[in-house]
Amino acid sequence: MKVRAGDRGMIPFAAVIVIMIGLAAFAPNVAPYTPDHQELAKRFLPPLTPGHSLGTDHLGRDILTRLVFGTRISLSVGTIAVLISVLIGTVLGVLSGYYGGMFDDIVNWFVNVQLAFPFILLAISVIAVLGPSLVNMIIVLAIGGWPAYVRVVRSKVFVLKEVEYVEAVKAIGAGDARIMLRHIFPNVAAPLIVLTSFEFAKMVIAEAALSFLGLGPGGLDYSSWGLMLAEGKNYLAVAWWVATIPGLAIMTAVLSINIVGDWLRDRLDPKLQT
Amino acid sequence: MSNFWSYVIRRAWQSLTILLGVSIVVFGLMHLSGDPIRLLAPIDTTAEELEAIRKLHGLDRPLPVQYWNFLSGVLRGDFGKSLRSGENALHLALERVPATARLALTALAFSLIVALPFGVLAAVKRNTWIDRTVMGAALIGQSMPVFWLGILLILVFAVNLGVLPATGTRAGWRSLILPGITLGMFNMARTARLLRSELLEVLQAEYIMTARAKGMSARVVLWRHAFRNAVIPLVTLIGLDLGALLAGSVITETIFAWPGIGRLSVNAIYGRDYPVVQAAVLVVASIYVIINFLVDLSYAFLNPRVNLS
């Protein structure tokens, strides 16, 4: 791909994502402390205190450390949840777009039921049933994510299956599976990549929202940005930074992913509206 | 016109099947989550007493029978009584709707009042610093998690400046400002971005060139021709947005202790108050489905080119 003038603005945001991945990978080497290391005597130290550059929280834990470890939760939960929902959504979307009929009606019904059920309520009820844990959080997010892919993929396949070259390979005797895999799927890939980038941003927010509502696994060493925010909100009047800093981290991450997503869309699929 | 009515009937039928699905999910979820009676009854309750309470609520019968009873109750408007307060569950849910509706409408109004002028401004001044600033701000608004925005607003306007209430509804319309902005921010940012791109597309259409060539002033071209056509897709979106705002106010209501249906359902889920959860979720889903239905109909009615099949 040729680099165009408009691309340069995207570079710092792509860099943010690369740095986040690096921090997540090397968190124990980069972070000055461990996420559960607490010193009650050093509670609520403000940012720029020597030894605690972003300050400490209500238990005297280092905020920078917890922030660095938080990238692990955000990225891993987001990535796995997105992969599961892409897989489910794409398979169902291709099949229901290609075969249509009854199968399509049923898939469509599931999509509509899912969309009519407010996501946060669904998430809370499922976690109330399964219990709070990282795996359950991923399951819930994947359940919330798949309908978006079905919708985009299905409508694209509807158009694609009528295209001449698909008719042509069919006439030579190619089977349905081969047509879907070799001839239809590659043409769905571009909108899929674009949608995935925006959905990934949503997953990062959703993970933080669930942790914020206390639906994550909890525990002293569980450092999710959403949980940090929830803990910090009780001390707004005494220590503004405890809640503000993790929120800033979430926003920076989501903003960067969205900007890279915008760039991808302009590059790959300008007609897609998001 | 008969084509239109058959579309209406088909869409209405589809909406009903969706609500039926939601009722199955709601019922199923609440019954997988363990025995509510054990949580509610005092610790020293005997096994016979537990059994009696179960019988009283119909929780001793097989699941399909319970679902059937639930559904026929729902169709009669009877969701049972709250396991905690003993009040009529549907009544509890419905009396929270006005508070959520007030919040959602405030959020919608806020987002449109800001998004319309700035969306137009960005399109007219495209590729200038004004456009870049407005669109940059919109991107930030779109990336801001609601729970963080809510906390920031409380920190600044309630804790530091002390000019607006942080929670509750006691201060009348002033109580609506912070939660309204919090809930409306994402919508505002998205509407501004959409309006800009719609306008840019319309401004390139041939009839705009014709209008310009005829010597019309830039202002007349913009408002009389371009704006009107760019706003049509937005009108559909506004209906859908209202549905999404009503359903999406859960977190905002939780942060601001707003007595709406979202907070009611969250508390009911934590308290395992089945009848209230079922009533609240079905009420929210019904509102959402009905709004979508009406939006689709008005769209089909107003725009004869829409494919009704």
Is the distance from CB of A80 to CB of A92 less than 8 angstroms? Answer: no
- Rounded to two decimals, the pTM is 0.87
Statement: residue B289 has pLDDT above 70: yes
Measure CA B272 to chain center.
23
Q: Chain A residues with CB inside 8 Å of B289's CB?
A: 116
Going by C-alpha positions, the residue among B237, B266, B28, B240 that lies closest to residue B147 is B266
ipTM: 0.86
Facing residue for B18 by CB, picked from A113, A118, A124? A113
Residues of A in contact with B265 (CB under 8 A): 121
Q: Give residue for tokens 């295209």.
A: A163
Residue B251: which of A120, A129, A273 has the nearest Cβ?
Answer: A120
Helix (H, G, I), strand (E, B) or coil at B44: coil
> Taking a contact as any Cβ pair under 8 Å apart, which residues of chain B between 243 and 272 contact chain A?
247-248, 250-251, 254, 262, 265-266, 269-270, 272
Contact list, A245 vs chain B (CB under 8 Å) = none
Q: What was the pLDDT predicted at A274?
A: 47
CB-CB neighbors (< 8 A) of B270 in chain A:
124, 128
Q: What is the pLDDT of residues B155-209, one digit of tens each?
A: 899 888 888 888 887 778 888 999 999 999 999 998 999 889 888 888 777 777 7
Distance CA A160, CA A169 (A): 13
- How many Å apart are CA B302 and CA B283, to the nearest integer? 28
End-to-end CA distance of chain A: 23
A237 touches chain B (CB under 8 A): yes
Q: Is the pLDDT of residue A70 over 50?
A: yes
pLDDT digits (tens, 9 = 90+) for B111-128: 999 999 999 899 888 889
User: Which pLDDT value is given to residue A1?
Assistant: 46
Helix and strand counts by DSSP (H, E) for chain B: 15, 0
Contacts 24+ apart (CB under 8 A), B85-93: B89/B275, B89/B276, B89/B278, B89/B279, B90/B279, B90/B283, B92/B264, B92/B276, B92/B279, B92/B280, B93/B261, B93/B264, B93/B276, B93/B279, B93/B280, B93/B283
Contact flag B277-A125 (C-beta cutoff 8 Å): yes
Give how far Cα A25 sits from Cα of A68, A80, A97, B226, Å.
10, 15, 39, 50
Instruction: Write the residue in B145, B151, B266 that is nearest to A236 by C-beta.
Output: B151
- Per-residue pLDDT tens for B251-287? 999 999 999 999 998 888 888 888 898 899 899 999 9
Provide the pLDDT for residue A103. Answer: 94
- B 75-134 residues inside an 8 A Cβ radius of A: none
Give contacts of A 121-180 with B, CB under 8 A: 121-122, 124-126, 128-129
pLDDT digits (tens, 9 = 90+) for A82-99: 999 999 999 999 999 999
